[in-house]
Amino acid sequence: MTTNPKRKRQTNLARGRSQAVDSSTVVDKKRGTYYPATEELRPDEMRVTALGTGMPVLRPSQMSASWFVELGNGDNFFFDMGTGSIKNFSALGVAYQDATNLFLTHLHSDHVGDFPLWWIGGWITRQTPVNVWGPSGKTRELGTKYCIDKFAEAYTWDITSRTGELPDPGKGYRVTEFDYKAMNKVVYKKNGVTIRSWPQLHAIDGAVAYSLEWNGFKFVYGGDGRPSDLFVKYSQNTDLLIHECFLTEDLLMRKFGFSKQMAKSVGTVVHTSPEQCGYIFSQTKPRLAVAYHFFNDFETVPEIGSHIRKTYKGPLSLAKDLHIYNITKKNVIERKVAYDPDNWPSRSKDYVDPRTLPMGKKTPMSKWLLRHAIRLDE
């Protein structure tokens, strides 16, 4: 029997430690398991975790958009931080202090909504500022810096109440805003890592997609957007490619009560339909294509999968929260994270005695209010 070389390459994309991807069907086989903090990432390996794969409205099994990329050189990066995603980050056993770089594709709440929780909530165990990169907009008010600054303004009471109790450096943030119109622009280059950005077509001006290149690997994350020749152009030769795949028009009408016109507009113009998503995958031919941004369950998978397969026959993953992908030169392994729901935040190896760090000036409570305190420690 003659072996198809392309088919052989596809089946090298291992699922679990030993299972192979059947590129003729939607991948939905028994997964291997990843236990956090039990596997050291090899120096030549990349690990990508889905922290949020769902929609703007949440359900218990799926948070909003977020992906966490870890590299064998010790670097790591968040790509988007949608509502609820930090809950899933906490499952990975990574210290807040060791995960301080965030790249935003755009400013919808389901892509940036958990920024305050990561930033201010993480301040309890983090002693360094966080770093945010994101696109500009057509006006200053539509840009990343304005959004993050307004988050800080909205949380003035929270920040003021913690100042003087926690080390000052932990409340810092730095925003690097770049031109959303730039084509394949290098927005980050450090420690052998290059991250590029280009425009996405999503809702209004100001959305972008990213590629991350390191050690001969290429990771591409599209955020949200309708099909674009820019995405196809800049996503060639990718190891792991993540593109949104919204619900079919029929599912939008049945499950959300959309009219046919609204379902078509939202599902194929603002977002990418399963058939359109498959077309993008067929034009980019990644080692593993990952579709996300839909409610993934027993009812939706057959319909969405069959629609993707109308236009794409290659290696495919339909992502769900806490799916994890290990990428090496040999293969791409997809597994599910098994975690302790009662774990405690991890402490960084770089953690120092808080008393050695600068503290801001504490805001005292009013004397008239303190007179009502019940003192049980005297």
pLDDT in tens, 118-133: 999 999 999 999 999 9
pLDDT in tens, 302-349: 999 999 999 999 999 999 999 999 999 999 999 999 999 999 999 999
| C-alpha closest to that of 139 among 97, 163, 107 | 107
Buried b (16+ CB within 10 A) or exposed e, 281-307: bebbbbbbbbbbbbbbeeebbeebbeb
Q: Average pLDDT for residues 23-34, to the nearest whole number?
A: 53
pLDDT in tens, 176-197: 999 999 999 999 999 999 999 9
Give first-to-last CA distance, the chain, whole Å: 86
Confidence label for 32 from pLDDT (cuts 50, 70 and 90): confident
Domain that holds residue 94: 13-370
pLDDT given for residue 3 in this prediction: 43
- Confidence check: pLDDT of 275 > 70: yes
- Chain centroid to CA 337: 15
pLDDT in tens, 215-232: 999 999 999 999 999 999
- State the amino acid at position 179 in one-letter form: D
pLDDT in tens, 35-60: 998 999 999 999 999 999 999 999 99
Is residue 1 in a domain?
no
Confidence label for 5 from pLDDT (cuts 50, 70 and 90): very low
User: How many structural domains does the chain have?
Assistant: 1
Is residue 5 in a domain?
no
CB 105 within 8 A of CB 221: yes
CATH number of the domain enclosing 214? 3.60.15.10
Confidence label for 22 from pLDDT (cuts 50, 70 and 90): very low
The beta-strand segments (E) located in the chain are 14-15, 19-20, 32-34, 46-52, 66-71, 76-79, 101-103, 130-135, 173-178, 185-190, 193-202, 204-214, 217-221, 240-244, 288-292, 316-318, 323-327, 332-337
Give the number of other CB atoms < 10 A from CB of residue 229. Answer: 9
Q: Which residues lie across from 213 on neighbouring strands?
A: 194, 218
- Confidence check: pLDDT of 200 > 60: yes
Give the number of other CB atoms < 10 A from CB of residue 213. Answer: 19
Confidence label for 377 from pLDDT (cuts 50, 70 and 90): confident
pLDDT given for residue 193 in this prediction: 98
- Confidence check: pLDDT of 6 > 70: no
- Confidence check: pLDDT of 260 > 50: yes
SS3 197: strand
pLDDT in tens, 64-79: 999 999 999 999 999 9
Q: Average pLDDT for residues 4-27, to the nearest whole number?
A: 38
- Confidence check: pLDDT of 15 > 60: no
Specify the pTM.
Answer: 0.91
pLDDT given for residue 11 in this prediction: 35
Confidence label for 31 from pLDDT (cuts 50, 70 and 90): low
Is residue 3 in a domain?
no
pLDDT in tens, 91-103: 999 999 999 999 9
- Confidence check: pLDDT of 89 > 60: yes
Chain mean pLDDT for the chain? 91
Is residue 185 in a domain?
yes
Confidence label for 355 from pLDDT (cuts 50, 70 and 90): confident
